[in-house]
Amino acid sequence: MNRLIDAIFFCSSVIFNISVSALYLATKLGNMLLVQVSGGIVISLIVPFTITLLGYVREKAEKRTIISHVFILFYLFLELLLDYVMRIQFREILAIHVPYIIVFYAALFSMIAVSFKKSKKMGFAVIATFLILIGCLIYYLFPI
């Protein structure tokens, strides 16, 4: 069971990073269909991350692992609330956007930390997709 939970966590982390990367690229290129699909994939990751949280709680994993999952799920539910339930343009409201960015990076670094804790190979794969995400973010932010 432990290896299955680890595999679900690893795959979910990689899918998260790739989906957010695709979201940045799609937004830059104006492809709103891909933006919606990528956003839907990110939100759907609530399910596997909840499964892995429950699995790690059942296995009595370290508190760091549990707290990391709480950060990840908090970000995903915040994203769901702001983008899909309330449907507000929160990225234009600095008082909301700054805490959102902090929670987003807390979730990203939590994925990296848990992945490295479980396996160095998993950790390097997750950090590689994180670097792809950062590259896509830079491309999105800078006019080219």
Residue 76 contacts residue 107 (beta carbons within 8 Å): yes
Q: List the structure tokens of 129.
A: 């997709």
Listed in sequence order, the residues at least 6 apart from 60 whose beta carbon sits closer than 8 Å to its beta carbon are none
Listed in sequence order, the residues at least 6 apart from 55 whose beta carbon sits closer than 8 Å to its beta carbon are 1, 2, 4, 5, 8
CA–CA–CA angle 113, 119, 123 (5° rounding): 45
pLDDT band of residue 91 (cuts 50, 70, 90) is confident
Taking only the tens place, the pLDDT of each residue in 51-90 is 999 999 999 999 999 999 999 999 999 999 999 999 888 8
Split into its structural domains, the chain has a count of: 1
Q: List the structure tokens of 11.
A: 């795959």
Looking at residues 87-99, what average pLDDT do you find?
91
Domain that holds residue 9: 2-141
